Amino acid sequence: MADHYEVLGVSREATPDEIKKAYRRLARELHPDVNPGEDASERFKLVTHAYDVLSDPEQRQRYDLGGDGSPFGGGAGGFGGFGDVFEAFFGGGGSRGGRPRSRRERGQDALVRVTLDLGDVVFGAHRDVEVDTAVLCETCQGSCCQPGTQPVTCDICHGSGNVQRTVRSLLGNVVTSQPCTTCQGYGTTIPYPCGTCAGQGRVRARRTVSVDIPAGVETGLRLQLPGSGEVGPAGGPNGDLYLEVTVTPHEVFSRDGDDVLATLEVSMPDAILGTETTIEALDGPVDLEIRPGVQAGDVLTIKGRGITPLRGGQRGDLRVGVHVVTPTRLDAKQRALIEDFAKKTKAPAPRLAEFHQGLFSKLRDRFRNG
């Protein structure tokens, strides 16, 4: 039986790198794609097997000690996977063959919806939200095993997570590596799965997450809470939690950027004579002075009583559009008074003036459109 070192043409002291280089050189020469001859095919198998043994430190040591005499003996290696050939031709780096995959994976993101009113938006709000996701299993702490037990190396793939299968193809026999079905590619099996989580390392649970929602949010905005989502399989890292905000429409107040809008109904006498009043804004009372002769459509701006911007900075304003309410039902005496007033003030007849889309009408349009 040919010596593996001789087959590859390297010394017994060859470094892993020298072994790899020797294999690449020979594979380029002997691979059935390049060299269809019967002899080449046989030599290719020998070369690949020699490389399989000598490139694995454990197998190489066993071989040096006299084990593994057979060219295609069983054991972990089998003979070269497709990956090896590919690597030989294209010079892929890294380790050869597949690695077992980890049971631990990142958990999924979770989404919860929160509903706020405009008052919450002015300053921000605190919410305790219920989140229904997978959480770490307390019994096994994500190990998936009954306490006191451990995963064991898979008998079928010997811990590699992969099994090699020979497939007949146009290129001849090609060995492919596929995930081991016994261990699902993990390389280990769990003889005594944790009873609490059925060996998943996590269980579903409802928990409460306390969230500070910043001021200035708006409907549709998603706040990301990194690491507050679902725990991953086998205690893998948590996904993120997203909070999707819905701001319910307010009866009185509306929003325009960081400003808050409302309409102030002022009676005709108050509009004429002026008055003082106190209105209840979203964040408490505001004293307002209505000057004598205020016009319908005038806007009173109360600085700094709007919304705190999401990105910080100065609060917006509260803008109040004046709506003068014309009396609709007058008794005879009131009617006489108004007629007398009109005569004495020589109120002008209705007349055309330059059209202007006042701020107030814009406000009203915006209110109407939602």
| Nearest alpha-carbon partner for 363 in 264, 267, 244, 285 | 264
CB of 137 or CB of 245, closer to Zn ion: 137
Question: Amino acid letter at 333?
Answer: K
35, 108, 139, 263: which one contacts Zn ion (CB under 5 A)? 139
- Tell me: does residue 149 bind Zn ion (CB under 5 A): no
Interface stretch with Zn ion, choices 64-72, 179-187, 331-339, 347-355 (CB under 5 A): 179-187
CB of 162 or CB of 308, closer to Zn ion: 162
Distance CA 22, CA 43 (A): 14
What's the min distance (Å) between Cβ of 178 and Zn ion?
Answer: 11
121, 140, 290, 322: which one contacts Zn ion (CB under 5 A)? 140
- Tell me: does residue 156 bind Zn ion (CB under 5 A): yes
Crossing angle for the helix pair 16-30 and 38-54, to the nearest 10 degrees: 160
Task: Using the structure block, give the residue that is written with the tokens 């000057």.
Answer: 291
- Tell me: does residue 171 bind Zn ion (CB under 5 A): no
- Tell me: does residue 197 bind Zn ion (CB under 5 A): yes
DSSP character at residue 90: H
- Tell me: does residue 196 bind Zn ion (CB under 5 A): yes
- Tell me: does residue 231 bind Zn ion (CB under 5 A): no
**Neighbour-count burial for 261-299, b at 16+ CB within 10 Å, e otherwise:** bbbbebeeebbeeebeeeeebbeeebebebeeebebbbb
- Tell me: does residue 295 bind Zn ion (CB under 5 A): no
What does DSSP say about strands 110-116 and 241-247: parallel, antiparallel, or unpaired? Answer: parallel
- Tell me: does residue 137 bind Zn ion (CB under 5 A): yes
Crossing angle for the helix pair 57-64 and 38-54, to the nearest 10 degrees: 100
- Tell me: does residue 76 bind Zn ion (CB under 5 A): no
- Using CB under 5 A as the binding criterion, the count of chain residues that bind Zn ion stands at 12
182, 224, 314, 361: which one contacts Zn ion (CB under 5 A)? 182
| Nearest alpha-carbon partner for 16 in 58, 57, 59 | 57
- Tell me: does residue 102 bind Zn ion (CB under 5 A): no
For residue 368, what is the enclosing H or E element? helix 359-368
- Tell me: does residue 53 bind Zn ion (CB under 5 A): no
Distance CA 297, CA 359 (A): 7
CB of 50 or CB of 135, closer to Zn ion: 135
19, 50, 112, 157: which one contacts Zn ion (CB under 5 A)? 157
Distance CA 180, CA 192 (A): 20
3-class DSSP state of 271:
helix
116, 180, 262, 266: which one contacts Zn ion (CB under 5 A)? 180
46, 122, 194, 243: which one contacts Zn ion (CB under 5 A)? 194
Interface stretch with Zn ion, choices 56-64, 181-189, 244-252, 341-349 (CB under 5 A): 181-189
CB of 35 or CB of 149, closer to Zn ion: 149
The residues binding Zn ion (CB under 5 A) are 137, 139-140, 154, 156-157, 180, 182-183, 194, 196-197
